[in-house]
């Protein structure tokens, strides 16, 4: 099977893709871009974005990836630390004027078509040895985004081990429903190149188009965030006849956020397939992956990746015991960027992920969520563990804890419920699952969780809403039980 890049409008052979990227690299070289330059790349997931990315790899530049939804002001704040020499943008938004060092890559790629056919081949060789090959940004779901510096070698080797663990085939057709500006999407793009299979690049927020391409282009592997799978399941309820037509998809992969039991069960009931979960962080790369041979939890750690579950005293705990996840990996970052753009290396080869999890008896990693211990009524609680408990009643919930002088903290439970059922209904569901000291002070009912740029639940926005509750919502109160239900208009979340 000839490897192709397929878009909603046309397809390109791998040879055409390589020709386009090398020719664009020559265009960039002609305007002054050279090895070692730091270049911002900001744009939507697309064929032209992929061409621009691989062109910058070919030129051995230091690539700064920024989400296309990031505002110009926020982008400038982030870039003040990175010593950027060039900006490559997907399109003009009226806020980034074109100048001698700012270019719109879609226009430039078209102009590069007038250049002679290239005589040299694409190469990763120099870029793989670059210490600052890529600078990515943490999601900012819990605070201010951090600049994360990754070497080319750490990325390449981590992707290769991921590819081998997943068991991709040369006849696979990959469809990542992800932004390529984040590590998950970037990793699938590089897996495609290593595997030499075919790639479908849709407008991944347009689910009708996505489903149409799955059916017509023979997609076999899909990667997406949990939020995308929820939307896909909603669509399948309206078009159940399409479920059977998607039988050629052999791997439905998910990552980027903790996977709830509710979504696992709902997906299996609809498609008769397991969602294959994975665990990783931009700082350390992919850590563990489930595959068709072992679909349980997040599977086993990748070859060469060591994972330990530690208690609060940094002592390793036993099987099935929950603790903090620590990782030692070939994919470890070079460091974070400080305010002056200097790389601050990690203090240890072991990285504290800040996540909670445990190993089962088969060595599968189960990830619960962020650690964030809080103290309440004399007890130590983990919001992520509370969320997993509540999932047993078939809902998605996020727990926000706010400091409170007398009780230690107030617990706000945000429940995602399309039907916006009452507090009374949800109390009957969740109270039997919780000890008295785990029960919420306040309950919020939301039709859809707010999401950040890469599909994760925006915890910053939820926290802001909890702090400013009376300004952000309307509510009804049950004074004698001291609990409050907040029904949030969807417009408040936009």
For residue 225, pLDDT over 80 is answered with: yes
pLDDT band at residue 463, thresholds of 50, 70 and 90?
confident
Both 278 and 402 in a single domain? Answer: no
Both 348 and 256 in a single domain? Answer: yes
pLDDT band at residue 418, thresholds of 50, 70 and 90?
confident
Average pLDDT estimate for 222-241: 92
Instruction: Report the range of poorest mean pLDDT among 59-63, 81-85, 315-319.
Output: 81-85
> How many domains does the chain fold into?
2
Which of 342, 365, 388 terminates a domain? The answer is 365
Exposed e or buried b per residue across 5-31, where buried means at least 16 C-beta atoms within 10 angstroms of its C-beta: bbbeeeebebeebbbbbbbbbbbbeee
Both 234 and 380 in a single domain? Answer: no
User: Tokens at residue 268, please?
Assistant: 């299996």
Q: Are 46 and 52 in contact (CB under 8 A)?
A: no
For residue 367, pLDDT over 60 is answered with: yes
User: Tokens at residue 133, please?
Assistant: 């090959």
pLDDT of residue 143: 58
Judged by DSSP in three states, 7 sits in coil
* Most confident among 138-147, 254-263, 324-333, 407-416 (mean pLDDT): 324-333
Both 393 and 457 in a single domain? Answer: yes
pLDDT of residue 106: 94
Q: In what order do the strands lie in the sheet with 306-310?
A: 306-310, 323-328, 350-359, 365-370
Using one digit for the tens of pLDDT, what is the confidence trace for 46-67? 999 999 999 999 999 999 999 8
Average pLDDT estimate for 477-481: 34
Average pLDDT estimate for 284-303: 98
Both 273 and 310 in a single domain? Answer: yes
Q: How far is CA 54 from CA 41, 109, 117, in A?
A: 11, 12, 17
Q: Are 185 and 455 in contact (CB under 8 A)?
A: no
pLDDT band at residue 371, thresholds of 50, 70 and 90?
confident
First to last CA, the chain: 44
Using one digit for the tens of pLDDT, what is the confidence trace for 193-220? 999 999 999 998 899 999 999 999 999 9
Both 280 and 325 in a single domain? Answer: yes
Helix or strand run (H / E) with residue 16: helix 14-31
> What proportions of the chain, in percent to the nearest 5, are helix, strand and coil?
30, 30, 40
Average pLDDT, whole number, for the chain? 88
User: Tokens at residue 267, please?
Assistant: 């997906």
Strand runs (DSSP E) across 208-345, as ranges? 221-224, 251-254, 275-281, 285-289, 300-301, 306-310, 323-328, 335-337, 343-344
SS (H, E, C) 360-426: CCCCCEEEEEECCCEEECCEEECHHHHHHHHHHHCCEEEEEEEEECCCEEEEEEEEECCCCCCHHHH
Average pLDDT estimate for 91-98: 58
Comparing 463 with 249, the larger pLDDT belongs to 249
Judged by DSSP in three states, 93 sits in coil
Instruction: Report the range of poorest mean pLDDT among 24-28, 142-146, 384-388, 432-436.
Output: 142-146
User: How far apart are alpha carbons 287 and 161 in whole angstroms?
Assistant: 10
Average pLDDT estimate for 468-494: 43
Q: Are 370 and 356 in contact (CB under 8 A)?
A: yes
Q: For 357, which DSSP code?
A: E
Residue whose structure tokens are 């870039």: 79
Q: Are 299 and 278 in contact (CB under 8 A)?
A: yes
Both 181 and 156 in a single domain? Answer: yes
Which of 365, 385, 420 terminates a domain? The answer is 365
Both 359 and 378 in a single domain? Answer: no
CATH of residue 457: 3.30.300.30
For residue 489, pLDDT over 70 is answered with: no
The residues, any chain, with a CB within 8 Å of residue 305's CB and separated by 6 or more, are 161, 284, 287, 288, 327, 328, 329, 330, 331
Residue whose structure tokens are 């691989």: 54
φ, ψ for residue 375, nearest 5 deg? -115, 130
pLDDT band at residue 152, thresholds of 50, 70 and 90?
very high
Judged by DSSP in three states, 465 sits in helix
Residue 248's Cβ-side half-sphere holds a number of Cα atoms within 13 Å equal to: 15
pLDDT of residue 457: 87
Using one digit for the tens of pLDDT, what is the confidence trace for 346-363? 999 999 999 999 999 999
Q: Are 412 and 376 in contact (CB under 8 A)?
A: no
Comparing 292 with 377, the larger pLDDT belongs to 292
CA dihedral 219, 224, 228, 230 (to 10 degrees): 90
User: Tokens at residue 263, please?
Assistant: 């979504």
Both 357 and 389 in a single domain? Answer: no
* Most confident among 395-399, 403-407, 408-412, 465-469 (mean pLDDT): 395-399
Nearest to 169 by CA among 267, 292, 80: 292
Both 46 and 83 in a single domain? Answer: yes
Domain range for 196:
4-365
Alpha carbon 158 to chain centroid, angstroms: 16
Which of 365, 393, 424 terminates a domain? The answer is 365
Comparing 67 with 291, the larger pLDDT belongs to 291
Nearest to 282 by CA among 147, 400, 439: 147
Both 394 and 356 in a single domain? Answer: no
Both 305 and 392 in a single domain? Answer: no
């Amino acid at each position: 099977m000839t490897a192709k890049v397929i878009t909603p409008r046309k397809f390109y052979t791998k040879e055409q893709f390589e020709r386009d990227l090398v020719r664009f690299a020559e265009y960039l070289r002609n305007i002054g871009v050279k090895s070692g330059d730091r270049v911002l790349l900001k744009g939507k997931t697309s064929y032209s974005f992929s061409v621009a990315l691989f062109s910058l790899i070919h030129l051995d530049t230091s690539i700064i990836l920024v989400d296309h939804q990031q505002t110009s002001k926020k982008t400038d704040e982030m870039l003040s630390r990175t010593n950027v020499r060039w900006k490559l943008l997907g399109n003009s938004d009226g806020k980034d004027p074109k100048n001698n060092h700012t270019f719109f890559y879609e226009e430039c790629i078209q102009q590069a078509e007038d250049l002679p056919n290239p005589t040299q081949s694409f190469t990763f060789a120099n870029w793989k040895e670059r210490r600052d090959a890529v600078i990515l940004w943490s999601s900012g779901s819990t605070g201010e985004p951090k600049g994360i510096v990754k070497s080319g070698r750490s990325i390449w080797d981590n992707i290769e081990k991921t590819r081998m663990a997943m068991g991709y085939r040369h006849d696979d057709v990959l469809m990542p429903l992800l932004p390529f500006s984040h590590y998950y999407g970037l990793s699938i793009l590089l897996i495609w190149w290593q595997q030499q299979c075919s790639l479908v690049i849709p407008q991944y927020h347009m689910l009708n188009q996505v489903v149409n391409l799955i059916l017509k282009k023979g997609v076999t592997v899909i990667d997406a965030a949990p939020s995308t799978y929820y939307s896909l399941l909603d669509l399948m309820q309206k078009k159940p006849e399409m479920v059977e037509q998607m039988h050629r998809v052999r791997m439905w992969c998910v990552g980027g956020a903790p996977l709830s039991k509710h979504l696992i069960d709902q997906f299996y009931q609809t498609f008769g397939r397991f969602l294959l979960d994975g665990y990783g962080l931009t700082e350390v790369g992919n850590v563990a992956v489930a595959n068709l041979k072992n679909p349980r939890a997040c599977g086993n750690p990748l070859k060469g990746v060591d994972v330990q579950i530690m208690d609060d005293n940094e002592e390793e705990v036993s099987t099935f015991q929950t603790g903090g996840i620590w990782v030692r990996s070939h994919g470890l970052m070079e460091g974070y960027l400080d305010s002056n753009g200097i790389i601050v290396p990690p203090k240890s080869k072991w990285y504290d992920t800040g996540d909670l999890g445990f190993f089962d008896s088969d060595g599968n990693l189960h990830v619960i969520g962020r650690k964030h211990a809080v103290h309440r009524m004399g007890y130590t609680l983990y919001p992520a563990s509370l969320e997993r408990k509540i999932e047993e009643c078939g809902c998605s919930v996020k727990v926000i804890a706010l400091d409170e002088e007398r009780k230690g903290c107030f617990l706000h439970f945000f429940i995602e419920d399309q039907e916006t059922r009452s507090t009374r209904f949800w109390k009957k569901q969740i109270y039997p699952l919780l000890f008295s000291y785990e029960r919420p002070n306040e309950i919020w009912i939301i039709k859809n969780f707010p999401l950040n740029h890469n599909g994760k639940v925006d915890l910053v926005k939820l926290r802001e809403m909890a702090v400013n509750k009376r300004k952000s919502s309307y509510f009804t109160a049950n004074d004698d039980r001291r609990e409050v239900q907040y029904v949030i208009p969807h417009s408040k979340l936009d």
